[in-house]
């Protein structure tokens, strides 16, 4: 068996050298396909991290009208607190709201100078145990009479309630579209890679048709004849996968720090475990493409 492994490796390498132009073509197509697959997965990881961090910041802000009765506000507060989904409720007075506003706007004093009297409403800030359930809680609050009694604009309940869900939902909708485009694109690239490997293996079979004929004649087993070709396909795919992994590692080392710099408020990073998983996925995908492409060529062009 040890001699066999040596034989297979030798044969595959020789073939690779013989049709290196075609092999290079196959390697490059696999490389590009897997690179795009890898980038899209990495982007997916980063985006879902961002979505997560945005979700964690989801709070429901209920704006209260000026001069709302204190007992009404407290009643609403008690009503909201009775919801098991609610984590904390904080009351922000008009003065506190203005203070926060001044804090956020201290870079642009000219805006602050314009403010004569406090235009900001008081608010109740609600955080939830599970931010994804925000819609249920919001619906419950909106339906409540207590809320309408104290809302900043009772005529338009929507405007008196602010929660991050709209942002998260838009983000999700966007990533969903991106993902569909990616899948279509990646499938097309996978097909192209398969065709390329199929072609290279076909050429390899053609270049060795005499040897294959003799092998059949002297009784080499079918797997013995097929294995070098299969290995060739897998080697091409593995080289493509390795290049893709190296490029992705390089890209993330190059781009992520800059991205972090421009978007300091978002956690833009990929953990090393995620990178390892990504690499394994790419290697796995490469092996599957390599085996499928050469397997297809063998079925069609090598009748053993």
Partner 1 sequence: MISMRGVEKHYVSDSPALTEVNVEIEQGEFVFLVGHSGSGKSTFIKLLLREIMPTSGQIIVAGQDLIKLKNWKVPYLRRNIGCVFQDFKLLPNKTSYENVAFALEVIGRSRHVIRTQVPEVLRLVGLEDKMESYPDELSGGEQQRVSIARAFVNRPPLLLADEPTGNLDPATSLGIMSLLNRINKTGTTVLVATHDREMVDSMRKRVIALENGKVIRDQNRGVYGYGD
Residues that bind partner 1 (CB under 8 A): 3-4, 7, 210-211, 213-222, 224-225
Dist CA 202 CA 206 (whole Å):
6
For 218, other C-beta atoms within 10 Å of its C-beta total 6
**Smallest distance, Å, CB 242 to partner 1?**
31
> For residues 30 and 302, which CB has a smaller minimum distance to partner 1 in the complex?
302
**Smallest distance, Å, CB 301 to partner 1?**
17
> For residues 159 and 65, is the Cβ–Cβ distance under 8 A?
no
> For residues 187 and 222, which CB has a smaller minimum distance to partner 1 in the complex?
222
**Smallest distance, Å, CB 304 to partner 1?**
8
> For residues 215 and 275, which CB has a smaller minimum distance to partner 1 in the complex?
215
For 17, other C-beta atoms within 10 Å of its C-beta total 9
> For residues 8 and 185, which CB has a smaller minimum distance to partner 1 in the complex?
8
> For residues 208 and 184, is the Cβ–Cβ distance under 8 A?
no
The dihedral through the CA atoms of 131, 135, 136, 141 has a sign that is positive
Structure tokens at 5: 């492994």
> For residues 7 and 172, which CB has a smaller minimum distance to partner 1 in the complex?
7
**Smallest distance, Å, CB 217 to partner 1?**
5
**Smallest distance, Å, CB 267 to partner 1?**
56
Beta bridge partners of 61: 125, 162
**Smallest distance, Å, CB 303 to partner 1?**
10
Dist CA 164 CA 64 (whole Å):
18
Please report the beta strands in the chain, taking only residues with DSSP state E, as ranges in sequence order: 59-64, 86-92, 122-128, 161-163
> For residues 27 and 225, which CB has a smaller minimum distance to partner 1 in the complex?
225
**Smallest distance, Å, CB 222 to partner 1?**
6
> Vertex 41, ends 58 and 289: CA angle to 5°?
155
Place of tokens 């869900």: 165
> For residues 8 and 79, which CB has a smaller minimum distance to partner 1 in the complex?
8
- Closest Cα partner for 161 from 40, 58, 49? 58
């Amino acid at each position: 068996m040890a001699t066999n492994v040596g034989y297979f490796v030798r044969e595959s390498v020789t073939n690779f050298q013989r049709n290196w132009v075609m092999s290079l073509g196959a390697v490059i197509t696999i490389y590009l396909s897997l690179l795009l697959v890898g980038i899209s997965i990495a982007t997916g990881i980063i985006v879902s991290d961002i979505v997560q961090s945005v979700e964690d910041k989801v709070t429901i802000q209920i704006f209260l009208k000026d001069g709302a009765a204190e007992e009404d506000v407290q009643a609403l507060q008690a009503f909201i607190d009775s919801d098991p989904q609610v984590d904390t409720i904080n009351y922000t007075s008009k003065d506190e709201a203005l203070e926060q506003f001044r804090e956020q706007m201290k870079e642009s004093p000219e805006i602050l100078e314009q403010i004569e009297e406090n235009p900001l409403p008081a608010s109740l800030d609600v955080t939830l145990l599970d931010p994804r359930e925000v819609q249920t809680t919001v619906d419950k609050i909106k339906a409540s009479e207590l809320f309408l009694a104290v809302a900043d604009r009772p005529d338009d309940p929507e405007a008196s309630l602010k929660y991050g869900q709209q942002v998260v939902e838009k983000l999700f909708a966007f990533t969903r579209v991106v993902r569909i485009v990616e899948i279509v694109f990646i499938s097309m690239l996978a097909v192209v890679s398969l065709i390329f490997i199929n072609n290279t293996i076909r050429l390899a079979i053609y270049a060795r048709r005499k040897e294959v004929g003799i092998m059949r004649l002297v009784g080499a087993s079918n797997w013995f004849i097929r294995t070098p070709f299969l290995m060739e396909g897998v080697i091409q795919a593995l080289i493509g996968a390795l290049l893709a992994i190296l490029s992705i590692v390089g890209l993330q080392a190059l781009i992520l720090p800059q991205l972090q710099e421009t978007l300091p408020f978002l956690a833009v990073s990929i953990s090393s475990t995620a990178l390892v998983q990504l690499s394994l996925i790419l290697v796995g995908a490469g092996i599957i493409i390599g085996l499928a492409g050469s397997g297809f060529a063998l079925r069609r062009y090598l009748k053993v």
